[in-house]
Each structure stands twice: as C-alpha cells, then as structure tokens.
Amino acid sequence: DTGVSQDPRHKITKRGQNVTFRCDPISEHNRLYWYRQTLGQGPEFLTYFQNEAQLEKSRLLSDRFSAERPKGSFSTLEIQRTEQGDSAMYLCASSLGTGGPDTEAFFGQGTRLTVV
C-alpha cells in the first residue's frame, strides 16, 4: 500500500502525559499537512511542511504541540502535557507540488486520541 499511513491508529493516554504520532506520506510527495478533527466537525488545519520546512502553523497549535519533518519524509506530531480537550482525530495528508490548481491532497486513516 503506497498511501499515507499513520501510526498509531488509536491512542488512549492519561491527562498530563506526552504523546507522539507518526505520519508517512506518499513517497514522492513534498507537502505534508496535519489536521485535527473533532466529532461532527470538519478537519481543522494545524500545520504544513514543504519538504523539511515547517511553513505555516495554525493558532490552534499551542505551545504544547510540536511537529517535525526532519528529512522531508515522515513527520511526527507531539503533544505535551495532554489535556482532555486534545481528544480528537489527528489526520495527516500529503500532496505533490508547490500549490496551485492541481494540488490534490491524500489523507491517512488518522490517529484517534482519547485523553482520560
């Protein structure tokens, strides 16, 4: 399967713990996005990488959140000191190109985080 893969698929953690999610994009894709989705809502943009450079971060991405894409391939999203409000589906997507009219994004299956 050469699609976007995310790991783990599900994560249950206690409040205050740190968690890290991984995303492996489609291999030739240079753009990578992280989104967060809560029940009944559409995905909300968190951050965007072009190759290894993190070019944009949403205001939703508080100081407790950090994302990396060290070699321009896979990416990690870490949440420190988790809070119950962090419970959501975290989605990763990738696309090829520099933006523009034909940029089609492909999503992974998501990591569902539950903070108890």
Residues that bind other proteins (CB under 8 A): 33, 35, 40-45, 48, 50, 55-56, 89, 91, 93, 99-110, 112
Nearer to other proteins, 32 or 115 (CB): 32
Nearer to other proteins, 42 or 70 (CB): 42
Name the minimum Å distance from CB 103 to other proteins: 6
- Please report the beta strands in the chain, taking only residues with DSSP state E, as ranges in sequence order: 5-7, 10-13, 19-24, 31-37, 44-50, 53-57, 65-68, 75-79, 88-95, 106-107, 111-115
β-strands 10-13, 111-115 pairing: parallel
Nearer to other proteins, 63 or 102 (CB): 102
Name the minimum Å distance from CB 69 to other proteins: 15
Nearer to other proteins, 62 or 103 (CB): 103
Length, in residues, of the chain? 116
Name the minimum Å distance from CB 66 to other proteins: 18
Alpha-carbon distance of 23 to 16, in angstroms, equals 23
